[in-house]
Amino acid sequence: VTLVPSRAQRFPFFAPGAGLASGFRRIVGIMHGYTEDKDAYLRRLRKVEGQVRGLQRMVEEDVYCIDVLTQVAAVTRALQAVALGLLEDHLGHCVTSAIEQGGPDAQAKIAEAAQAISRLVKS
Amino acid sequence: VTLVPSRAQRFPFFAPGAGLASGFRRIVGIMHGYTEDKDAYLRRLRKVEGQVRGLQRMVEEDVYCIDVLTQVAAVTRALQAVALGLLEDHLGHCVTSAIEQGGPDAQAKIAEAAQAISRLVKS
Amino acid sequence: VTLVPSRAQRFPFFAPGAGLASGFRRIVGIMHGYTEDKDAYLRRLRKVEGQVRGLQRMVEEDVYCIDVLTQVAAVTRALQAVALGLLEDHLGHCVTSAIEQGGPDAQAKIAEAAQAISRLVKS
Amino acid sequence: VTLVPSRAQRFPFFAPGAGLASGFRRIVGIMHGYTEDKDAYLRRLRKVEGQVRGLQRMVEEDVYCIDVLTQVAAVTRALQAVALGLLEDHLGHCVTSAIEQGGPDAQAKIAEAAQAISRLVKS
Give me the DSSP letters along A32-96: -TTGGGHHHHHHHHHHHHHHHHHHHHHHHTTB-HHHHHHHHHHHHHHHHHHHHHHHHHHIIIIIH
Which amino acid does the sequence have at A74?
Answer: A
Interchain CB distance below 8 Å, C92 and A100:
no
B110 vs B115: CA distance, rounded Å: 9
User: Is the predicted pLDDT of residue B45 greater than 80, yes or no?
Assistant: yes
Interchain CB distance below 8 Å, A92 and C107:
yes
User: Is the predicted pLDDT of residue C2 greater than 60, yes or no?
Assistant: no
pLDDT of residue B112: 96
* Any B CB within 8 A of A91 CB: no
Question: Per-residue confidence of chain A (123 residues) as pLDDT tens digits?
Answer: 334 443 333 333 333 333 444 456 655 555 667 777 899 999 999 999 999 999 999 999 999 999 999 999 999 999 999 999 999 999 999 999 999 998 889 999 999 999 999 999 988
Helix (H, G, I), strand (E, B) or coil at B62: coil
- As a whole number of angstroms, the longest Cα–Cα distance in chain B is 70
Strands C25-27 and D14-16, by their bridges, are: unpaired
Which amino acid does the sequence have at D120?
Answer: L
pLDDT of residue D34: 77
Q: How many whole angstroms from its chain centre is CA C24?
A: 12
**Count of other CB atoms within 10 angstroms of residue C3:** 6
Cβ D103 vs Cβ D88: under 8 Å: no
% residues pLDDT > 90 (chain B): 66
A87 vs A85: CA distance, rounded Å: 5
Helix (H, G, I), strand (E, B) or coil at D111: helix
CA distances from B81 to B74, D40, D122 (A): 11, 32, 10
Contact residues for A17 (Cβ-Cβ < 8 A; gap 6+): A24, A25, A26, B61, B63
pLDDT of residue B23: 59
A14 forms beta bridges with A27
CB-CB neighbors (< 8 A) of D55 in chain C:
45
Across chain D, mean pLDDT equals 81
**Count of other CB atoms within 10 angstroms of residue C85:** 18
Q: How many whole angstroms from its chain centre is CA A58?
A: 28
User: Is the predicted pLDDT of residue B30 greater than 60, yes or no?
Assistant: no
pLDDT of residue C31: 61
Per-residue confidence band for B76, with pLDDT thresholds at 50, 70 and 90: very high
H or E, element range at C60: helix C38-60
User: Is the predicted pLDDT of residue B18 greater than 90, yes or no?
Assistant: no
Per-residue pLDDT averaged across B94-109, rounded?
A: 93
D117 vs B18: CA distance, rounded Å: 33
Minimum distance, in Å, between the CA of residue B1 and any CA atom of chain A: 32
Across chain B, mean pLDDT equals 81
ipTM: 0.77
Q: What share of chain D is helix, strand, coil (3-state, %, to 5)?
A: 70, 5, 25
Cβ B34 vs Cβ A41: under 8 Å: no
pLDDT of residue C27: 54
Per-residue confidence band for B36, with pLDDT thresholds at 50, 70 and 90: confident
D21-70 confidence digits (pLDDT tens):
445 665 555 567 777 789 999 999 999 999 999 999 999 999 999 999 99
pLDDT of residue B122: 87
DSSP C32: -
User: Is the predicted pLDDT of residue C3 greater than 60, yes or no?
Assistant: no
Minimum distance, in Å, between the CA of residue A3 and any CA atom of chain B: 26
A42 vs B53: CA distance, rounded Å: 10
Q: Which of A9, A101, A89, A117 is CA-nearest to residue B64?
A: A89
Interchain CB distance below 8 Å, D121 and B84:
yes
Contact residues for D82 (Cβ-Cβ < 8 A; gap 6+): C72, D41, D44, D45, D48
Subunits with 3+ Cβ pairs within 8 Å of C are A, D
Which amino acid does the sequence have at D112?
Answer: E
A63 forms beta bridges with B26
CA distances from C94 to A114, C34, C42, C106, D42 (A): 14, 10, 20, 10, 38
* Any B CB within 8 A of D82 CB: no
Q: Which of C36, C52, C118 has the highest number of chain D CBs within 10 A, making it the mutation to test binding with D?
A: C52
Q: Which of A58, A84, A123 has the highest number of chain B CBs within 10 A, making it the mutation to test binding with B?
A: A123
- The conformational region for residue C22 under phi > 0 = left, psi -120 to 50 = alpha, else beta, is beta
pLDDT of residue D13: 36
Contact residues for A39 (Cβ-Cβ < 8 A; gap 6+): none
Helical H segments across D13-37, by residue range: none
pLDDT of residue C20: 47
Higher-confidence position of B12 and D25: D25
CA distances from C34 to A118, A123, C92, D28 (A): 17, 25, 10, 45
Per-residue confidence band for D6, with pLDDT thresholds at 50, 70 and 90: very low
* Any A CB within 8 A of C114 CB: yes
D72 vs D55: CA distance, rounded Å: 7
D103 vs A94: CA distance, rounded Å: 58
Phi, psi (degrees; rounded to nearest 5) at A14: -95, 125
Per-residue confidence band for D14, with pLDDT thresholds at 50, 70 and 90: very low
D80 vs C76: CA distance, rounded Å: 8
D16 forms beta bridges with D25
